[in-house]
Structure 1
Amino acid sequence: MFDKLKSKIENAIDSKHPHEIQISIPDASKVSKKDIYRYRYNYGVNLGSLFVLENWIYDDLFGHGGGSELDAVTSEMKATSASDAGRKLAQHYESYISSIDWAFLQNAGVTAVRVPIGYWHVGNGKFVDGLPHESVKHVYQSAKPWDFLKQLTATAGGHDIGVLVDLHGLPGGANADSHSGCTISTASFFHNSGYINQVVNEILPFIAKDICVNNENVIGLQIVNESVFDNKASGQKSYYLKAVKAIQNVDSTLPVVISDGWWPQQWADWVQKHGLATTVVVDSHVYRCFSDGDKAKSAQEITGELSKTLNFPKDQADYMVGEFSCVLDSKTWDMTHGDRQKLVQTFGNTEISVFAENASWGWFFWTLQFEHGDGGEWGFVPMVNNSAIPKRPSGAHSIIGDNEIKMFVQQHADYWKDKGGDHMEHWRYEDGLRSSVADMSAFANFKNSLVGRWYSWKTQRRQQYVKQKGDGEFMWEWEQGYQKGLDESNHY
């Protein structure tokens, strides 16, 4: 039985860890603020409709009609002028950013904001020639959204808050929804080589060089938002691979975020196949208010099923929940009995709890602020104030000490004593446990942060250890020790 168990563990480890990977993480004593920004577990929020406009969040720019940003800006430009439209956009950017309550975000424990942008914003319209937004180029040259993004990033950094730059709008669309920036019936980006080449060869490298490298609080670059579901996803796979390589040529340690296309396992398999599991984070969006199946369930049923309906393959890749809310459909509420506020609190807290077990890079609520009102169950501020979204603790969380380490090592040895333990290497278990504790302590020293991107971090730390002390048939003991530390202390 022992041989079978040992073989199973060793085979699992071999399948998860390539023999040679690029190690980008430092020793625990040298973990920098930049490292923590890029790896820590996130309590985050989206800045929806700051740059990529959505009528239901901010409608001021849609005064002359239009179902998407391109339509709205085109209508505004025709009704007034390109300079006037640009001036109105600039006023929107300035008003939105000045309305952000950074003290509130800090008090809520926010670690990062996800900032959706369109390709047309990059470099203030620098890359729209030959693309759908070319006709409004002068509007964005005048509005200068890229300057505002840089200002926002600097301000966030002053509050120890990270920025995830999210290329939300791609030419031709990664999906056919209006938040892609234009009105289309079918997403065409992934099957248009001209669009892909312009994004990969020009736009992504510019973003990486101009804002990601120069700001320690830029935590990553998301190269797509909500890719359409595709069983083969050949277009997505081709684009993702080219995009990752283009970004790595600028900064090999910058996290690159892709969309799960509503199928998490598909992309765990992909990152494993291409050896990108230490570089790529997979973004999955979690909403329980859109599908017919969820609309047919009560709030209690949806909440009770969360742990079963959300289960990322976290032993193969790192995941984040880039969007979610506390919203349930009106049909759900029609069949639900009980105090709505308490049920929303339970739903939101359950979401956060389930994410903490599955999403190694944390979560980003949709969304922060609205032109009219607070957004209700779509709004981060009211959901934090109503305790539906728990605040991240600011005080130091408990991390196991030396006595507990010795106790766990003894328990490990006792368990294996009559199962071949005399021939094993329990010192590796202790090494893994102590390494885990050192890492967690380093992260906790910066704003009580938790170790995130568990797969990437642990894989790299393991490879470092192998280089220092050699590989062997009992490396699974190191793995178990490292994981034991995370299980015991890497949470609030």
Structure 2
Amino acid sequence: MQKAFSKLKLKSKGSNIPDAAPAVDSGKEPSIAQIYQSRLNYGVNFGSSFVLEKWIFHDLFAETGGDTELDAVSSLVAKNGVNDTRSKFENHWNNFVTSEDWSWLADNQVTSIRLPIGYWHVDGGSFTSGFKFEKFKQVYSNAWTIIKQKYVEVALQNKISVIIDIHGLPGGANNAGHSGESGSGDFWSDEKAQVSMAKMMGWIANDLKSYENIAGIQVDNEAGFANPAKKQETYYAACISEIRKNNKQVPVIISDGWWPDQWVKWVQDEQGDDGYIGVVIDDHVYRCFSDADKAKSPQQIIDDLNGDVLTNLTDNGSGADLMVGEWSCVLDTQSWEKAGGSNRDDEVKKYGQTQCKLFNERACGSYFWTFKFQSGNGGEWDFKTMTDKGAIQPFSRPTKKPSDDQFQQALGNAYNGHVDYWKKQDPNGKYQPELYKDGFSIGWKDADSFAKFNGSRIGRKEALKRARLQEEISSKGSSKYDWEWSQGYDEGVKQFYNASI
């Protein structure tokens, strides 16, 4: 009976997903918080800052042969007690990122960090009841305060946003140890856990709503592939509903389960033509794990990126924004064995730069895995090392404000090109090219507004475009030619950057 009740409760939380507030307020320039939520992000993960991974930071695993955080904390508590273990963990959290690190990140134009945490870190461990970390909640009593004071607030001082990524769920969203517990993705069969985590997401949204640099709340990490994904759909809906009770604006980030189009369709279906649920779909891009990639040479993997990164999306992904929450410059040894006589550093550089270019074109942000390692550097997993080698680089930022004459010229050229194209395609057709002109002007204006804040660029373009189109419809009414307005918006954003970079 308990299981049936939990499932019923979970579904009730997720029924009729509420709309989010528009990504930008009608008739107004975006606020600073809205820019943090919607700008294009060049980011990095703080891997093993909170959810420990032995291969990245190994000190806290000294007393165990296990690889998960649960192994580490249980062994340390058994040997040294709660107080000593808490001190060791807090020392790690407090010193993971130094003031010099933050300065380096800002100097290298990093705009955002993705912070992987576990459910056990939230609110002094108050959401661990009935789960494996409950007996260790005292170790984590100050974790949430440290997250806010040493990460969110310091990031804000450096004009860097933070994604709160719930990397560790009870039982794990997948069967890997990086979820903090060794398991087999048991989370998806535990409705009690899903109800508890949905409530936790609402609590997080409420507790962080005063911080303007929260770029999103991620409700799971690397969900296992599922088709159909009914359990994931129900959980995502419940999380969105709980978050929206407390924060109408913050982006909600969901894992794509290694199939982005599955969730593009879901977002499109849930939103309909004129709704907006404020969801970002997280895709991870690694080319070093699958047998298919191991069978390819580095050159072939690089050549294939254009055709297989965020492609083949329903209706070109209309209405859905995607991010790349994890990626690296790592290729498997078997791939390097097929490299012929090519220079490895050259190929790594080409691989990283190609990924950066595609992510900036197709995603609203990308986050390299990972920032730092306890011992030495992580080579092609290491953000600083790859930066120094020139394999990864930030996107170009607007550096000059286009003049009114440049705007008028760009608008005229784009408008005339649009009109001429449709005259040739459909000489007898009747269109509303003035809608295209309106969309172009709004897109240009939004891009200019973002640029005023530290040279930011628009990232969640689908979210902004949907907000502005609804604003247009509210003012002038709907038209079957609203697609012209949308095309104009896209072109306005594009031409602003052509003129300002």
Q: TM-score, normalised by structure 1?
A: 0.91
Please tell me the root mean square deviation across aligned C-alpha atoms, in Å.
1.9
Matched residue, 1:306:
305
Q: CA deviation at 1:470?
A: 1.6
Answering whether residue 476 of structure 2 is matched by residue 469 of structure 1, we say yes
- Any idea what the Cα deviations from partners look like across 1:343-395, whole Å, max 9, x if unmatched? 11100010011112221x21000011111112111011111111111134455
More displaced stretch, 98-107 vs 288-297: 98-107
Code of the aligned partner of 1:150: K
Question: 1:120 Cα shift?
Answer: 0.2
Select between 41-50 and 333-342 the one with higher mean Cα deviation. Answer: 333-342
Q: What is the match of residue 341 of structure 1?
A: 345
Query: SS where residue 121 of structure 1 aligns?
Result: helix
Q: What are the within-5 Å matches in structure 2 for residues 283-298 of structure 1?
A: 283-298=282-297
- Aligned partner letter, 1:46: N
Alignment partner of 1:266 is 2:258:
no
Amino acid at match of 1:192: D
Q: Which of 384, 387, 399 in structure 2 is aligned with 1:384? A: 387
SS at match of 1:401: helix
How far does the alpha carbon of each residue in 1:237-265 deviate from its partner, in whole angstroms, 9 at most, with x for none? 11000000000110111100000001111
Structure 2 unpaired stretches of 5+: 1-18
Q: State the 4+ residue runs in structure 1 displaced beyond 6 angstroms.
A: none
Correspondent of 1:480 among 476, 484, 487: 487
By how many angstroms is 1:24 displaced?
4.3
Alignment partner, residue 234 of structure 1: 230
Residues 278, 127 of structure 1: CA spacing in aligned structure 2 closer, same or farther, 3 A cutoff? closer
Mean CA deviation greater in 24-33 or 475-484: 24-33
SS in 1 for 2:246: coil
Q: CA deviation at 1:98?
A: 2.3
Q: Quote the offset at 1:21 in angstroms.
A: 8.2
**Residue 458 of structure 2 aligns with which residue?**
451
User: Are the equivalent residues in 2 in contact too, given 1:28–1:442 (CA < 8 A)?
Assistant: no
1:421 positional shift: 7.2
Question: Which amino acid in structure 2 is aligned with residue 470 of structure 1?
Answer: G
- 1:424 offset after TM fit, Å? 2.9
Q: How far apart, in 1, do the equivalents of 2:308 and 2:108 lie?
A: 27
- The worse-fitting range, judged by mean Cα deviation, of 130-139 and 345-354 is 130-139
- Please tell me the residue identity of whatever aligns with 2:334: K
Aligned partners of 1:109 and 1:393 also within 8 Å: no
Question: In the aligned structure 1, how far is the partner of 2:28 from the partner of 2:233?
Answer: 37
- After superposition, the Cα gap between the structure-2 partners of 1:390 and 1:366, relative to the gap in structure 1 and judged at 3 Å, is same
**Is contact 1:43–1:392 with CA below 8 Å preserved after alignment?**
yes
Shift of the 24–295 alpha-carbon distance from structure 1 to 2, 3 Å rule, reads: closer
Instruction: Give the equivalent residue in structure 1 for 2:213.
Output: 217
Identity percentage over the alignment? 38
Q: Distance in 2 between matches of 1:115 and 1:87?
A: 21
Contact 1:433 1:482 in 2 (8 A): yes
The one of 179, 198, 201 equivalent to 1:200 is 198
- Structure 1 residues 277, 386: CA separation in 2 closer, same or farther (over 3 Å shift)? farther
Tell me the SS of whatever aligns to 1:115. strand
Query: Which residue identity is paired with 2:127?
Result: F
Q: Which runs of 5+ in 1 are unaligned?
A: 1-19
Shift of 1:30: 2.4
Which of 419, 432, 444 is residue 425 of structure 1 equivalent to? 432
Aligned length: 467
Q: Which residue of 2 aligns with 1:353?
A: 357
Residues 180-205 of structure 1 deviation map (CA, whole Å, 9 limit, x = unaligned): 11112x2111221111111112x112
**Partner residue of 1:10?**
none
Aligned equivalent of 2:414:
408
Q: Look up the equivalent residue of 2:375 and give its one-letter code.
A: H
**1:481 alignment partner AA:** G
Task: Evaluate the alpha carbon distance shift between residue 278 and residue 454 of structure 1 in structure 2; reply closer, same or farther with a 3 A threshold.
Answer: farther
Q: Point out the more displaced range, 421-430 or 215-224.
A: 421-430
Offset at 1:227? Answer: 0.2
Instruction: Provide the residue aligned with 1:12 in structure 2.
Output: none
- Code of the residue aligned with 1:197 in structure 2: it is V
TM-superposed deviation, 1:99: 6.2
Write the distance in 2 (CA, Å) between the matches of 1:397 and 1:190. 50
Separation (CA, whole Å) in 1 of partners of 2:253 and 2:116: 13
The residue type equivalent to 2:170 in the other structure is P
One-letter amino acid matched to 2:69: E
Per-residue CA shift, 1:411-432, capped at 9, x if unaligned?
2223334644784322111111
